[in-house]
Amino acid sequence: MNDTELESKANAGDTDAQCSLAFLFEIGLDRPQDLTQAVHYWQMAAQLGKQLAIDKLKFLISQGRVQADVLPQVITDPGPKPTPLNTDLKPSPIGAVKILLADDEDELRELMGDYLVAAGFRVIMAINGEEAVQKILAHPDIKVIVTDLKMPKLNGLQFIKTIRRMQVAEDAKVVIMTAYSQTSLINEGKRLNVDTWLVKPIRPQVMIDTLKKLTQRKEQVA
C-alpha cells in the first residue's frame, strides 16, 4: 500500500490506517518524525473508539509529551467500518491460533501458508516488512510472527525492531526464516527477543512443529 492509499483510507475513517500513520510519524519511519501529525491521527482513531489510539494518547499525556485536552470525545457508534487492511489466506477453524507470515517470495509464502492452515492455524500474510507492520496493527491478537530476514522496504530484523519501538504485539512469539547465519545477525535477534531461527530451505513439517511448540509453551506458561 502506497502513501496516498494509506492516507486516503485514514481520511475515510479507517482506524487501522489512522493508527499506522500515527506510528509512522511518531517514530519517523518513512516519514519525518512529527509528533503533531502523529497526535492528529491518534485523535482521529480515538474519536472513532479505537482502544489502541485512546491508550496511546493517555500514555503520551502521562509522559507529559502532550496536553490532556488532546483526548477527544469518543464516538460510541461510528457507523459502518471501512474494509480492513487484513486478508486471511483462507477460512480457518474458529479459535485457531493466529499467525503472521511475512515473506516476499510469493510461491514460498503461499505454499507455507497452505500447510499452516491445513495444520489448523489461521494465517495472515504480508509481502514485505512494511505491510507486516500494517497487519500487526490490524490484528493485535496475533500470537506468532514468522518473518523472512531479507525483504524489501523493511527486512525481518528492521520489522521486529519497528514493532518493538511501537510497543505492539509484545507478547507474540517471533520466528525468523533466513538462509544467513552470521553471528552478528543472531546477536541482534537476541536483543530483539527473537524466539527461534529457521534456516532455509525449511520443510513444512519443521515449521508446523516449531509453531506448535511455541504456542503450546505459551499456553502452559499462561
Q: Domain count of the chain?
A: 2
Looking at residue 121, what is its pLDDT?
A: 93
| 213 in the same domain as 131 | yes
Count Cβ atoms below 10 Å from residue 57 Cβ, excluding itself.
21
Q: Considering the domain boundaries, does residue 77 fall inside one? A: no
3-state DSSP assignment of residue 171: coil
pLDDT higher than 80, residue 135:
yes
Asked, for residue 80, whether it belongs to a domain, the answer is no
Instruction: Please report, for the domain that includes residue 110, its CATH number.
Output: 3.40.50.2300
Does a structural domain hold residue 78?
no
Q: Within its chain, how far is the Cα of 107 from the centroid?
A: 22
Q: Are both 16 and 66 inside the same structural domain? A: yes
Do 103 and 57 sit in the same domain of this protein?
no
Count of residues for the chain?
222
pLDDT tens per residue across span 17-38: 888 888 888 877 667 889 899 8
Mark whether 56 and 143 lie in a shared domain.
Answer: no
Residue 29 vs residue 138, higher pLDDT: 138
Q: Are strands 196-199 and 98-102 parallel, antiparallel or unpaired?
A: unpaired
Instruction: Return the DSSP state at 69.
Output: G
170 secondary structure, DSSP code = T
Q: Which domain holds residue 29?
A: 3-70
In a domain, 114, yes or no: yes
Shared-domain flag, residues 113 and 212: yes
| Residue spans of beta strands (DSSP E) within 85-172 | 98-102, 122-126, 144-148
Predicted TM-score (pTM) above 0.75:
no
Domain boundary among 33, 51, 70: 70
Q: What is the pLDDT of residues 34-56, one digit of tens each?
A: 989 989 998 998 888 888 888 88
- In this structure, is residue 118 part of a structural domain? yes
